[in-house]
Structure formats: structure tokens, C-alpha cells
Amino acid sequence: MAQCGVQLTAVIVANAMPSEFALIDRIRQRARTRADVELGIGDDAALLRVPAGQWLVVSTDTLVAGRHFPDDTQAADLGWKALAVNLSDLAAMGAAPAWCTLALTLPRDEDARGATDSWVEAFLDGFLELADAHGVALVGGDTTSGPLSITVAVHGFVPEGAALRRDAARVGDEVWVTGTLGDAAGGLAQWRGRGLQSAKLRHRLDRPTPRVAEGIALRGLARACIDVSDGLAADLGHVLAASGVGAELELGRLPTSGPLAEQFPDEDARWRLQLSGGDDYELCFTAPAAEAFAIEQALAACDTFATVVGRVVAGTGLALRTPDGEAFALATAGFDHFPGQA
């Protein structure tokens, strides 16, 4: 349900906010543009050029206060993350990002979120920093008042027939993940506990790295791919269901950062964070074993590593095995917006 270039024709009633048109003008002045943007912010809709021979890839995500981020998240970090989680979806498809739209719902008064002029400026600092890093043009959106939420739609390109999809895993494929798992979940767990927090784990929660270059590098090498947003077990489960296969994961192979191992020395607790914590925004993909060397070389060129954590098998579902070969059970596979509903 992506938005298609709806422009920043907003209603802002917060006393602490600038006027509607002043805010639109400020965003327009700060946002970059691209040669394929015929008309961006300022009209009823955007006019955009899709290159010949390319598929248009579109994804939308919403972040809601009290649901998707800690209430002490800095505005710049929230701006970064709002775009990062969307770029991660493009990465999982092997797509190169091009444009985005931004819909901001801002509190009516200066409440606990402090929806002030300076907050918006800081939010834009983080959002546009990441947009500039990936050559993304902000081409429109919407603003209104209400409980704080941010909705971003991203648009990108992938050559026809080259998109990575969830339904392409095959029996015998190896299961890979980029980077390390569980850091963001560890940072969130520490925040919830209100105890000593690791700055490195919190950074992974607040400023995830969308693996855009990695997704592009995996075209023609990986079969199926998904980003790890809700937890490895849940997200890999989506791939298995779409592909009609099963998988076995070896928990001893889960890539673990030094800070996570230090802060969560208990293996059982750490595995649960890595399997069901989510918010890592790493890529989980399957590929034939024969492509292993090429994958390692392609990702090394992106300054990234990936780890084989299991294999695709006949059947259905996900089997988890400890280093001793014992079955491992999870109470929940990952984050679910509507738990208990079919």
C-alpha cells in the first residue's frame, strides 16, 4: 500500500511548529533532487522517470511512537531509522534506491516527544543524511497532527528478471546472513531493563545499516532473500513458506558481535535475542553451495561478510539445533503486530 508521490500539502496545527507552507519550503530546500525527477515537492503529485528495462520496486513502512522505537530515541536517529528500514526492503529485493516520500504525523502540542521546530530539523538531519548517502531524492509526502508516527515509501529499480524474491529457495541451498545478529535486540533489552546500556548495541538499534550494496551484489548469486526486521526465525520462516521448503539452522554458527557476547554471556538467552529479537536489518538469503566463493568475494567488495548458518531441506518449517545437535524451542519466532490473529 505504497504512496505514489503524494505531495507535502499538510495541515499543521501544533503551536510549536512552523506554518504548513514554511515547513514544506524548508524540506524542499534541504532535500536533494535527481535527474530522473521531472517534478518533485510542491505540486499535487510527483513526476518521475523509470529507466527502460528496469522494474520499479516500491515499499512502505510506518514507525509509531510507543511501538517501534524507545521513547528516548533522538530525533536525528529516528529520521535515519525511518528511511533505513525502508531501504532495507529494497536491499532484500536487490534494488537500487531512487526516490522516497515522507508522511509525518506530529503531536499537536509540545508533549513528551517535544514536537518542536528544532525536533523537525534534527529529524531531517538524520533522514536526509542517509538519503544523501544512497542518492535518494525526497519527492513528496504529507504532514498532519496526531500521535507521533512516520511513514516512508521508497522507490527503486532492479533490472527486469533480476529481483531477489522470497519464493525462490530450493532444497540444498545454504542459508546465509550478513553481518551479526542480535545487537539491536540486545540494545532494546537493555533499554527495557533500564540498567547499564552498551552504546554499541544501542547504536545498532537506533541507526541500522541498510545492506543496499550487498543486495545489489547478490543479484545472480542468491536465490531467495529477505531482510531481518522481525527476527531471523520469523523472517526466514516467510521465505520457507513462500518457497514451499523447510530449513535447519545451526545455532552455534549464528554470527555474534563482541559487544553482544560480552553483554549477554548466557548462550541460551543470546540465541533467543538473535533468533526472535529483530531490528537487525541484515539480509538472510539462500544460495547454492557452489556460489559460496563468489558470494564471499562480492560481499567483501562491499566491506561486509556473511555467514552460512544452515541449509534448506525438503518439508516445511524451521528446525533449530544447538552445537550438541539437540533441538531448540522458541516461544515466539519474532515480532508480530497482530499476535494471536490468523
pTM over 0.75: yes
Quick: pLDDT tens for 248-301. Answer: 999 999 999 999 999 999 999 999 999 999 999 999 999 999 999 999 999 999
Question: What separation in angstroms does the CA of 191 have from each of 79, 114, 126, 203?
Answer: 20, 20, 21, 12
Burial state string for 6-43 with b = 16 or more CB within 10 A and e = fewer than 16: bbbbbebebebbeebeebbeebbeebeeeeebeebbee
With H, G, I as helix, E, B as strand and everything else as coil, classify residue 267.
helix
| pLDDT at residue 112 greater than cutoff 60 | no
Q: What is the mean pLDDT of residues 309-333?
A: 93
Q: What is the mean pLDDT of residues 78-96?
A: 98
Which single residue is written with the C-alpha cell 532494546? 188
Q: What is the mean pLDDT of residues 169-186?
A: 98
Given this model, what pLDDT does residue 68 score?
Answer: 84
Confidence band of 8 (pLDDT split at 50, 70, 90):
very low
Domains and CATH numbers, the chain: 20-159 (3.30.1330.10), 166-321 (3.90.650.10)
Of 64, 243, 8, 30, the C-alpha closest to 137 is 30
Q: What is the mean pLDDT of residues 169-197?
A: 95
